[in-house]
Amino acid sequence: MNYFNTLPLRLQLEQLGKCSFMDSSEFNGVEKLKGKKLVIVGCGAQGLNQGLNLRDSGLDVSYTLRQAAIDEKRQSYLNATENGFPVGTYEEMLPTADLVLNLTPDKQHTNVVTAVMPLMKKGACLAYSHGFNIVEEGMQVREDLTVVMVAPKSPGTEVREEYKRGFGVPTLIAVHEENDPNGDGLEIAKAYAAGTGGDRAGVLLSSFIAEVKSDLMGEQTILCGMLQTGSILCYNKMIEKGVDSGYASKLIQYGWETVTEALKHGGITNMMDRLNNPSKITCFEIAEDLKTIMRPLFNKHMDDIMGGAFSEGMMADWKDGDAKLLGWREETGQTAFEKSVAGDMEITEQEFFDNGILMVAMVKAGVELAFETMVAAGIKEESAYYESLHETPLIANTISRKKLYEMNKVISDTAEYGCYLFANACVPLLEDFMKGVETDIIGKGLAADNNGVDNMALIEVNEAIRNHPVEIIGKELRGFMTAMKSIL
Ligand SMILES: NC(=O)C1=CN([C@@H]2O[C@H](COP(=O)(O)OP(=O)(O)OC[C@H]3O[C@@H](n4cnc5c(N)ncnc54)[C@H](OP(=O)(O)O)[C@@H]3O)[C@@H](O)[C@H]2O)C=CC1
Ligand SMILES: CC[C@](O)(C(C)=O)C(=O)O
Ligand SMILES: [Mg+2]
Ligand SMILES: [Mg+2]
């Protein structure tokens, strides 16, 4: 049963609005978990990378996998054993565990938690990195068990890379209020977040509900769905207009990473400032048009996430053996962009901006719409920022590795399903808009013979960009992150 939908509106709003930025003085490293036995269920994208960080932070980490994964020496078994972790069956590992980290795919959570729970010792703690099972499926956990969430706002690969750089990724933590029998859930979640490096990048004390509703919205829209939509449409347009396919392929595959890198340093303002004045004004206007066209789709995704229609649809697909997910994955693999090969020509960093005005506009429109839609639904600006602007470059990095295949492989199955759902609606939605697109905004850039602009128009555009609420909260949060980095 959908737990969120069982709550009265007053509590729904209270939970959605839970979000406070924690000060680094509130953390005491991994002390609370020192000497405790941490057992991770599953060794995939999050499982492996979080486990490596937790062990490097001085904690006792081992893995439990389903019997078949051990017997068949599957990838998860190899991930754990080749990295020197103890691995065992549920019966061998769970009865002595103090903290069990459920890092299996969301669709398996009901099965996994049902199998794991009876083997857990009295008073132990069960942790998640995404609250879907609790919020959307209403999983009831044994009363003596504490239930917490530590949700990194990043793919597993970046969780590890940032830790190795001596830092971490922003993380949401929460305690399931119905399962905090010893009153120490928050201390456990804080120590777990510190063990992954999250406390060095910024931790939001949130709720299972706020995490689920914001995470689903971010991944379906700007983080994955929008980048997939943009990749398909921009590539097709360039080919239609006679741009060399190797150039088009390269502009897109590496373009998302290059233009969104600017977001990390100075948000949308900095990304737009990378364009010359006429390109910036053109880009701004395109983004405004895109926002008008796509706003109803963003609203639909938010409404379906809030009301439960999204999770109901996805769970029906789980029951149907992932028929839709697998079909969409196959279709994505057959798109012209995915089959294209990047050329070996050089594209300078600046050229990605100059010749990718439409891509910049799609990023701007997608980030702002996702942020605006989440905030309008009751999600706090800090969470909305992490789930829109902050994480976009981290996902864009995955496309530069192996295109959409890599992005959809690295993200969770839940995110992958939502990505296809959005892209399959957004590509046709933008069909008419794309008919009017020429190579000046994708592929070749504006003619450089006249760089003049109207002063007032430029001032208005700059003001609008800089005063968007995502820029205001973003500046504050990036300031915290820079301050933390300089302390280390
Ligand atoms: N992917 C990401 O970057 C992010 C994921 N999350 C969340 O983290 C959690 C884990 O996701 P993710 O890392 O993507 O998962 P993966 O798909 O990468 O890994 C799944 C692991 O679980 C194991 N597994 C699968 N089915 C079962 C089962 N029925 N019983 C036991 N083990 C099983 C797999 O091993 P095997 O099949 O070999 O048994 C594999 O080791 C999810 O809740 C997700 O929402 C949160 C933030 C980001
Ligand atoms: C953006 C997708 C994500 O939410 C993530 C990496 O944060 C996921 O579920 O994989
Ligand atoms: Mg996420
Ligand atoms: Mg997710």
Beta carbons within 8 Å of 264's beta carbon, 6+ residues apart: 393
Beta carbons within 8 Å of 464's beta carbon, 6+ residues apart: 284
Whether residue 144 lies inside any domain: the answer is: yes
Answer yes or no: are the C-beta atoms of 390 and 152 closer than 8 Å. Answer: no
Taking 70 as the threshold, does the pLDDT of residue 385 lie above it? yes
What residue's CA is closest to ligand 2, atom 7? 154
Q: How far apart are CA 450 and CA 190, in angstroms?
A: 56
Residue whose CB lies within 8 A of the most ligand 1 atoms, among 48, 77, 101, 103, for a mutation test: 103
pLDDT on residue 485: 64
pLDDT, tens digit (0-9, with 9 covering 90-100), for 411-459: 999 999 999 999 999 999 999 999 999 999 999 999 877 788 999 999 9
Q: Is the ipTM of this complex over 0.90?
A: yes
Residue whose CB lies within 8 A of the most ligand 2 atoms, among 412, 414, 417, 420, for a mutation test: 412
Taking 60 as the threshold, does the pLDDT of residue 488 lie above it? no
* Closest listed ligand to the CA of 157: 1
Beta carbons within 8 Å of 118's beta carbon, 6+ residues apart: none
CA dihedral 161, 166, 172, 176 (to 10 degrees): 100
CA 46 to chain centre: 12
Whether residue 8 lies inside any domain: the answer is: no
Q: Are residues 230 and 284 in the same domain?
A: yes
Which CATH number characterizes residue 178's domain? Answer: 3.40.50.720
Q: How confident is the model at residue 486 (pLDDT cuts 50, 70, 90)?
A: low
Cβ of 314 below 6 Å from ligand 1: no
pLDDT above 70 covers a percentage of the chain that reads: 99
* 109 is annotated as an active-site residue: no
Let me know if 457 is exposed, middle or buried by CB neighbors in 10 A (0-12, 13-18, 19+): middle
Query: pTM here?
Result: 0.97
The CA angle 433-436-437, to the nearest 5 degrees, is: 90
**Mean pLDDT, residues 45-49 taken together:** 98
CA 44 to ligand 1 center in whole angstroms: 5
**Mean pLDDT, residues 7-22 taken together:** 96
Q: Are residues 171 and 227 in the same domain?
A: no
**Mean pLDDT, residues 362-381 taken together:** 98
User: Does the annotation flag 144 for ligand binding?
Assistant: no
What residue's CA is closest to ligand 1, atom 16? 44
Which CATH number characterizes residue 267's domain? Answer: 1.10.1040.10
Q: Which domain holds residue 80?
A: 20-205
Answer yes or no: are the C-beta atoms of 386 and 154 closer than 8 Å. Answer: no
Which residues are paired to 88 by β-bridges?
A: 64
pLDDT on residue 484: 62
Whether residue 30 lies inside any domain: the answer is: yes
pLDDT, tens digit (0-9, with 9 covering 90-100), for 235-248: 999 999 999 999 99
CA 145 to ligand 4 center in whole angstroms: 24
Q: Are residues 229 and 167 in the same domain?
A: no
Point out the ligand 1 atom lying closest to the alpha carbon of residue 153: 47
pLDDT on residue 132: 98
List ligand 2's pocket residues with C-beta within 6 A: 153-155, 215, 219, 223-224, 391, 395, 411-412, 414-415
Answer yes or no: are the C-beta atoms of 153 and 128 closer than 8 Å. Answer: no
Of 185, 205, 225, which closes a domain?
205
**Mean pLDDT, residues 276-287 taken together:** 97
Of 188, 205, 222, which closes a domain?
205
Q: How far apart are CA 137 and CA 129, in angstroms?
A: 15
User: Does the annotation flag 76 for ligand binding?
Assistant: yes
Conformation bin of residue 138: beta by default, left when phi > 0, alpha when psi is -120 to 50: left
Question: Which token pair is 487?
Answer: 């302390």
Taking 70 as the threshold, does the pLDDT of residue 480 lie above it? yes
CA dihedral 75, 127, 54, 171 (to 10 degrees): 110
Of 205, 222, 253, which closes a domain?
205
Q: Are residues 228 and 185 in the same domain?
A: no
Mean pLDDT of the chain: 97
Whether residue 13 lies inside any domain: the answer is: no
User: Does the annotation flag 412 for ligand binding?
Assistant: yes
Catalytic residue among 109, 130, 176, 468: 130
pLDDT on residue 194: 98
Beta carbons within 8 Å of 450's beta carbon, 6+ residues apart: 278
User: Does the annotation flag 220 for ligand binding?
Assistant: no
Residue whose CB lies within 8 A of the most ligand 2 atoms, among 132, 214, 394, 395, for a mutation test: 395
What residue's CA is closest to ligand 2, atom 10? 411
Q: Are residues 219 and 354 in the same domain?
A: yes
Q: Are residues 477 and 341 in the same domain?
A: yes
Cβ of 155 below 6 Å from ligand 1: yes
Q: How far apart are CA 133 and CA 117, in angstroms?
A: 14
| Secondary structure string (H, E, C) spanning 316-340 | HHHHCCCHHHHHHHHHHHCCHHHHC
Q: Are residues 402 and 258 in the same domain?
A: yes
Point out the ligand 2 atom lying closest to the alpha carbon of residue 412: 10
Q: What is the DSSP letter of 448?
A: T
pLDDT on residue 156: 96
Question: Which token pair is 143?
Answer: 């009363």
Whether residue 240 lies inside any domain: the answer is: yes
Counting the structural domains of the chain, the total is: 2
What residue's CA is closest to ligand 2, atom 9? 412
CA 479 to ligand 3 center in whole angstroms: 22
User: Does the annotation flag 274 for ligand binding?
Assistant: no
Q: How far apart are CA 24 and CA 309, in angstroms?
A: 38
Taking 60 as the threshold, does the pLDDT of residue 363 lie above it? yes
Taking 60 as the threshold, does the pLDDT of residue 266 lie above it? yes
Residue whose CB lies within 8 A of the most ligand 1 atoms, among 46, 63, 117, for a mutation test: 46
User: Does the annotation flag 331 for ligand binding?
Assistant: no
Taking 80 as the threshold, does the pLDDT of residue 186 lie above it? yes
Whether residue 2 lies inside any domain: the answer is: no
CA 144 to chain centre: 32
pLDDT on residue 334: 98
pLDDT on residue 456: 96
Q: How confident is the model at residue 103 (pLDDT cuts 50, 70, 90)?
A: very high
pLDDT on residue 483: 61
* Closest listed ligand to the CA of 131: 1
Answer yes or no: are the C-beta atoms of 198 and 171 closer than 8 Å. Answer: yes
pLDDT on residue 451: 84
pLDDT above 90 covers a percentage of the chain that reads: 97
**Mean pLDDT, residues 378-382 taken together:** 97
Q: How confident is the model at residue 196 (pLDDT cuts 50, 70, 90)?
A: very high
User: Does the annotation flag 214 for ligand binding?
Assistant: no
Point out the ligand 2 atom lying closest to the alpha carbon of residue 130: 9
Q: Are residues 375 and 330 in the same domain?
A: yes
Taking 80 as the threshold, does the pLDDT of residue 218 lie above it? yes
Point out the ligand 1 atom lying closest to the alpha carbon of residue 104: 22
pLDDT, tens digit (0-9, with 9 covering 90-100), for 48-60: 999 999 999 999 9
